[in-house]
């Protein structure tokens, strides 16, 4: 099994302003946006998810990493056996992925997911 860094998600104050910034990078394209709350920008093979910080608590993580693996269930078991704390086993989500989260030693969120469209 192989894991791959897919992208990062950033909590931002103004999604429109941040989207305009990232779209200035040559080759960047807007994949999806949802009003003033979310935008997904692809840069090469990776992506930047821009999420409006909004009403989140001030101590909420300001970003998280997104890592994909062909077998997210096996990855979960492997990390659990290695002593990594997670939010529980992988779960299917309405937006089309199967994922779970781990927190690194500094409190950063790492989302581990099956690639979109993979079964």
In CATH, what number is assigned to the domain containing residue 14? Answer: 3.10.180.10
Q: What is the pLDDT of residue 5?
A: 84
Does the residue 88 lie in any domain? Answer: yes
For residue 29, give its domain range: 3-53+62-113
The number of folded domains in the chain is 1
Note if the pTM is more than 0.75.
no
**46-52/3-12 β-pairing:** parallel
Q: What is the pLDDT of residue 70?
A: 87
- Report pLDDT for 119: 57
Q: Is residue 10 part of a domain?
A: yes
The whole-number pLDDT of residue 117 equals 60
The answer to whether residue 118 is domain-embedded is: no
Residue 49 within a domain: yes
What is the C-alpha separation between 32 and 106, in angstroms, rounded? 30
The confidence score (pLDDT) of residue 45 equals 87
Closest alpha carbon to 4 in 70, 80, 54, 89? 70
Residue 30 resides in a domain: yes
Residue 32 lies in a domain: yes
Residue 8: left (phi > 0), alpha (psi -120 to 50), or beta?
Answer: beta
Whether 80 maps to a domain, the answer reads yes
Exposed/middle/buried for 84, CB within 10 Å: 0-12, 13-18, 19+? middle
Which residues of the chain carry a pLDDT beneath 50? none
pLDDT of 64: 79
Examine residue 119 and state whether it is found in any structural domain, yes or no.
Answer: no
């Amino acid at each position: 099994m192989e894991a791959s860094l897919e992208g990062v998600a950033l909590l931002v104050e103004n999604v429109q302003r941040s989207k305009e910034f990232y779209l200035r990078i040559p080759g960047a394209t807007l994949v999806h946006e949802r009003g003033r709350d979310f935008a997904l920008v692809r840069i090469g093979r990776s992506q930047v998810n821009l999420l409006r910080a909004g009403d989140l608590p001030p101590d909420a993580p300001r970003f998280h990493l997104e890592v994909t693996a062909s077998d997210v269930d096996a990855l979960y078991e492997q990390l659990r056996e290695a002593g990594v704390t997670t939010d529980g086993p992988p779960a299917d989500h309405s937006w089309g992925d199967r994922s779970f989260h781990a927190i690194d030693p500094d409190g950063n969120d790492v989302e581990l997911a099956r690639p979109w469209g993979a079964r």
